[in-house]
């Protein structure tokens, strides 16, 4: 009985870890995309107005 309980606890920890990992990965991906878009917009602005 204690062995099955420990296995359930391990599965729960792994599941929670994966959920948190996926959530953080999603946020990180969104952060990278927004950062890339910002740099792209800045590059376009600089290209359009080299004097600025």
Q: Which tokens in the block code for residue 37?
A: 């878009």
- What is the per-residue pLDDT for 42? 73
* pTM (two decimals): 0.44
> Confidence class of residue 1 from pLDDT cuts 50, 70 and 90?
low
Convert the pLDDT of each residue in 8-46 to its tens digit: 999 999 999 888 888 888 887 787 777 777 787 777 766
């Amino acid at each position: 009985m204690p062995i099955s309980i420990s296995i359930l606890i391990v599965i729960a920890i792994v599941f929670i870890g994966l959920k948190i990992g996926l959530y953080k990965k999603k946020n990180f991906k969104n952060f990278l995309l927004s950062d890339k878009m910002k740099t792209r917009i800045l590059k376009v602005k600089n290209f359009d107005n080299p004097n600025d």
